[in-house]
Amino acid sequence: MCRRLDGIDPLIMVGTGSHAGHVASAMWIDDELFVVETLDEARWPVKGVQKHTYIEWLELAKANSYDVAWLPLS
């Protein structure tokens, strides 16, 4: 679960009753961990569906002041 406590995320959270602005998925692809998500923000290098290595994504999330909670699927 990802959220920023500015911009549209608080509105999304109030409107949906969620505690997250959006969800990203971490997955192993060819023995490397990637984070896959869909964003429409000018602060990220790509708009829409994107895939970043885990290390690259951590740097982007930190630079964009994301509050992240890792939740297992099972």
Residue 21 backbone dihedrals phi, psi, to 5 degrees: -85, -35
pLDDT at residue 47, as a whole number: 79
The three state secondary structure string of 4-48 is CCCCCHHHHHHHHCCCCCECCEEEEECCEEEEEEEECCCCCCCCE
Q: Tell me the sheet residues that pair with 37.
A: 50
> pLDDT tens-digit profile of 6-44?
777 777 878 888 877 788 899 999 999 999 988 876 667
Express each pLDDT in 50-74 by its tens digit.
Answer: 899 999 999 988 988 888 888 887 7
Give dist(CA 19, CA 69) in Å, integer. Answer: 10
Alpha carbon 53 to its chain centroid, in Å, reads 13
